[in-house]
Each structure stands twice: as C-alpha cells, then as structure tokens.
C-alpha cells in the first residue's frame, strides 16, 4: 500500500477544513460574533497543521495511487474530516459532548441531517453556518470520489463509467487535478446561483446561504426548526424545488446546457428521472393528496429523490413508505444524492428482463445498451448491482435490529435504518420528525455514525478493500 500517497491526498482534504474555518472567522469578526470565535481559530490551526504535515510526509511519494489505495483514502477521509469539523461544536459554549460533536459533524459531512442540536434559533449564526457548510464540503468531496474513483472503470462500484464525463485520464493524479478544479468551479458557481435565486425570492440572506448549502449537497440541516419557518409562500417553495433538481440530475447537465455542450444521447438518465418526477407529482396531486398544494407536492418529491428529506408537507395521509422508497431510488449517478441510484434499478430490471426473455427465445440477440447510448451493460455490472442491493437489504435489517434496543418500535427502527443508509434527514415526510438523537445512547450513536458513512461511500467499497487485502495476503 502506498501510505505516503494516501496521506498526501488526505492532507489536501484536511486543508479544506482550515479554509472553512477561515471563512467562519471572517464572518464572525465582520458581524461581531465573538462568543465561539476561538473555536474556529483552533479548528483552523489543527486542520492546517494536520493537513500540511500529511502533505509534507507524502510529498515525494507516487501520486498515482492504486484503486485499493483510493478506497482506503475515501474511508479515511470520511472518518478524519468529521473529526476536524467537530472541533467548533465541542469547544462551543453549548456543552456539546465529544460523541455528540462527532455525530453532528459526521451527519453534516455525509449530508444526512440528523442533529443533536436543539432550539436551533438559540444557536449563534456562525455555528449554523459551520454546520451547513460542512454539508457543502461533504457534497463536494463526495462528487470527487464518485466521479474519480467509485465510478471509474477500474473500480466499478458505481456504474458511472458507463456515462459521459468520467474516467477521462488514466493517471489518478492528473485525473484528480482535472476533476477537482472542474467540479469545484461548477459546484461553487452553482451555489452562488442558488443563493442569488433564494435572495430574489425574498428569503433572508443567512437562510439563503444555509439553505443553498443544504440543497446543493442534498443535505438536511436547516437554520430554523422547520422549513416552513424559512419559506412561507408558493413562490419560495417553487424556488427551493427547482434548486433541488441540482442534486438529482447529472452534475454536468446544467453546465453543459449553459456552455452549449449538451448532447441528448448522454443524458437519457436525466430524461427518465424528469418523467418520473412529473408522473409522481401528477399521481399524488390527482389521486392521493388532492387537497395539498402542487408546489408542496413538488418539493416533497424532489426532496425525497435528492435524498435531502426536507419538506413543508403536513398531511394526515401517511406517505412515509412512499417517500422512503423515493429516497432509496435516489438521483443520477453523477450527483450529490445518496440512495441506490436510479441507473442501478434500470440495470437490474433490464438484465432480469433479458434473462427471462432468453429462456423463451434463446436464439435472439438482446440489446444490452444502457438506455439508448453506446455503453453496454456486461455481467460484471449486473453482478455489482445485485451485490449492492443485497448488502443494502442486509444492512437495513442489521441496523434495525440494533436500533430496536433503543426502545424504538420495529417500524420506526426500520424507517430510521433506511434514512441512515440513504443519508436522508428524519422529517415529517417519514413521520419521524419527533425523534431526538441527543437521547440515544453512546453505542447507538456509534452505529449510526458508522452506517451514515457506509451509506455514503457504499458498503461494497469497504468489501472491495477487504477483498484486495485478502488477495494480496
């Protein structure tokens, strides 16, 4: 294993936390929020010290690390960076224990949205900005991992290599540099666009920042107790719904449209997702909850598919299982959403149909193209997709069994397990908005932390690393 190469990239990611700390310091100084200012200075110093030392240690190493090393880097990143992000929580004046601080930071970095903070209105603005920006950072780094590693043809954990804009370079270091710059620029300017859109919708500026960081990363943290305290009319609801499309559709879709590089044949997945959203909105509006505003239904559907989970829907009709299924489906492979991803369902259904049809007409030639593109689905793709589904189902029952020891009913434990593995906030959409994570015991929080990370980086990514180590041994 190339330890030095792994530590070099881990150092670069650690430095990103110091940049967030610096921005929070400038915000606190400018608006005279001095209460927890020292905590951000400590976070800046610690993350910068660790980052620079790791980069210095790995400066002379081979930067073209192997696929196994890349998976190890992903796992270490999702454990180390939340540790650095937890410093302002732990050192704040709100008496937050270390395990609660780490739980909050992992929940933010994985864009899950589970929170141990109560009475959000009493939390100072810089700390609210810190927790929402941790989602933004987590979404950004996740996109780099999803495009550069998990979706490459060498790893194949996510079938992103079947789509466009991935795996352009064989050398990991060159690929990392290219992806980092391009993803950051698109992600950053999209965030600015979303903030501007919210501001023009008359959403308060601080709420616009926090909400933009949440929506663009498919997170669940809010600057108020409820979303209905932030968006108060149909126009604002529609604006938030439109921005929720960013973490659903292909990350490069809107960039290609604006830069006039759009090619329809590379975005059949987005077309499928668009038709699915339209169908679900019409179905719910006409047949299930006709008394609800169509804008509220739109927000609920796109929020569930983006695996964010925030909504203003409040109905007596229990739709929790329906919205949980949407969270499991998730959005595009090249997006910041979690879930199993729509393409995997498509691959599984197409391969199953082909195998059944082969039994009826064995001499026929079957179309194994992904959608109508030139990319073909092979046996390895189907095998990995099937393994993803199996590990997901097993993980749900394992975590559900653990959560039942917390005096949760099996139904609530089952729901919370799905929300944890799809990195979706527990809200009124799932009849789970009254759950209090502060009251959970130490071991329950540890298991939730582990499964939040596993849900984000893919459980089979860990299995992939274990398999490689066993083969090398």
Q: Could you tell me what percentage of the chain is helix, strand and coil, using 3-state DSSP and rounding each to the nearest 5? A: 65, 0, 35
Structure tokens at 47: 């993350």
Residue closest to 332 by CA, chosen among 151, 113, 90, 124: 151
DSSP letter, residue 233: S
What is the maximum span of the chain, computed from C-alpha positions, in angstroms? 75
Instruction: Specify the 3-state DSSP secondary structure of 110.
Output: coil
CB 120, CB 227: distance < 8 Å: no
Q: What is the DSSP string of 40-87?
A: HHHHHHHHHHHHHHHHHHTTTS-SS--HHHHHHHHHHHHHHHHHHHTH
What pTM was computed for the model?
0.94
Q: What is the pLDDT of residue 470?
A: 62
Q: CA–CA separation, 468 vs 473, rounded Å?
A: 9
Domain positions in the chain: 1-473
Residue showing tokens 């498509």 = 346
Question: By the 8 A CB rule, do 413 and 403 touch?
Answer: yes
Q: What does the block give as tokens for 242?
A: 């439109």
Q: What is the dihedral of CA 4, 5, 7, 8, to 10 degrees?
A: 110
Separation of alpha carbons 167 and 162, rounded Å: 10
Token pair listed for 176? 């990392």
- What averages of pLDDT result for each successive group of 10 residues across the chain (473 residues)? 91 96 93 88 97 93 86 94 97 92 97 92 91 96 90 79 60 82 94 95 93 95 92 94 95 86 83 95 93 94 96 86 95 92 90 79 70 77 88 95 89 95 93 87 95 91 72 60
**Residue among 276, 264, 274, 257 nearest 373 (CA):** 264
- Joined together, the tokens standing for residue 263 give 């090619």
Which long-range contacts link 431-437 to residues 24+ away (Cβ below 8 Å)? Answer: 431/318, 431/320, 432/320, 436/118, 437/103, 437/114, 437/115, 437/116
Tell me the torsion sign for CA atoms 142, 143, 144, 145.
positive
Quote the CA–CA distance of 312 and 58 in Å, as a whole number.
Answer: 48
End-to-end Cα distance, the chain: 12
What is the rounded (10 degree) CA torsion for 142, 143, 149, 155? Answer: 90
> CA-CA distance, 1 to 65, in Å (whole number)?
9
The CA radius of gyration of the chain, in Å to the nearest whole number, is 22
Residue 369: strand pairing partners: 376
Give the 3-state secondary structure of residue 155: coil
425-445: pLDDT as tens digits: 998 899 887 888 998 999 999
Look at residues 220, 234, 147, 136 and name the one whose alpha carbon lies nearest to residue 182.
147
């Amino acid at each position: 294993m190339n330890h030095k190469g792994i530590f070099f990239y881990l150092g670069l990611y650690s430095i990103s936390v110091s940049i967030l700390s610096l921005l929070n310091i400038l915000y606190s100084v400018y608006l005279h929020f001095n209460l927890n200012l020292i905590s951000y200075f400590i976070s800046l110093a610690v993350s910068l010290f660790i980052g620079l030392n790791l980069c210095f240690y790995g400066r002379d190493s081979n930067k073209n690390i192997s696929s196994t090393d890349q998976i190890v880097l992903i796992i270490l990143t999702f454990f180390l960076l939340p540790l650095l992000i937890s410093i302002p929580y732990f050192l704040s004046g709100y008496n937050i224990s270390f395990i609660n601080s780490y739980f909050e930071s992992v929940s933010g970095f994985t864009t899950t949205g589970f929170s141990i903070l109560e009475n959000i209105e009493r939390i100072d603005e810089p700390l609210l900005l810190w927790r929402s920006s941790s989602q933004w950072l987590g979404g950004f780094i996740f996109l780099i991992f999803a495009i550069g590693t998990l979706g490459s043809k060498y790893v194949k954990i996510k079938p992103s290599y079947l789509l466009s804009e991935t795996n352009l370079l064989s050398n990991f270091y060159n690929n990392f540099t290219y992806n980092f710059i391009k993803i950051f620029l698109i992600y950053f300017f999209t965030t600015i666009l979303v903030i501007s859109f919210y501001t023009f919708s008359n959403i308060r500026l601080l709420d616009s920042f926090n909400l933009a960081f949440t929506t663009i990363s498919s997170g669940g943290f809010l600057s108020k107790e409820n979303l209905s305290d932030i968006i108060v009319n149909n126009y604002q609801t529609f604006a938030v719904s439109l921005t929720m499309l960013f973490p659903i559709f292909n990350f490069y879709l809107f960039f290609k449209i604006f830069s006039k590089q759009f090619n329809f044949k590379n975005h059949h997945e987005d077309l499928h997702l668009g038709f699915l959203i339209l169908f679900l909105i019409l179905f719910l509006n006409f047949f299930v909850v006709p008394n609800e505003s169509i804008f509220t239904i739109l927000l609920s559907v796109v929020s569930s598919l983006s695996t964010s989970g925030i909504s203003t829907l409040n109905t007596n009709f229990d739709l929790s299982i329906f919205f949980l299924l949407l969270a499991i489906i998730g959005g595009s492979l090249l997006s910041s959403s979690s879930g199993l991803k729509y393409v995997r369902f498509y691959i599984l259904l197409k391969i199953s149909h082909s195998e059944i049809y082969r039994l009826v007409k064995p001499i026929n030639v079957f179309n194994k193209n992904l959608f109508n593109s030139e990319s073909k689905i092979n046996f390895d793709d189907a095998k990995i997709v099937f393994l993803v589904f199996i590990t997901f189902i097993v993980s749900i029952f394992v975590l559900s069994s653990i959560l039942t020891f917390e005096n949760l009913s099996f139904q609530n434990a089952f729901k919370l397990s799905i929300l944890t593995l799809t990195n979706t906030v527990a809200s009124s959409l799932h009849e789970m908005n009254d759950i209090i994570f502060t009251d959970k015991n130490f071991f329950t929080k540890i298991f939730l932390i582990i499964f939040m990370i596993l849900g984000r980086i893919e459980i089979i990514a860990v299995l992939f690393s274990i398999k490689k180590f066993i083969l090398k041994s």
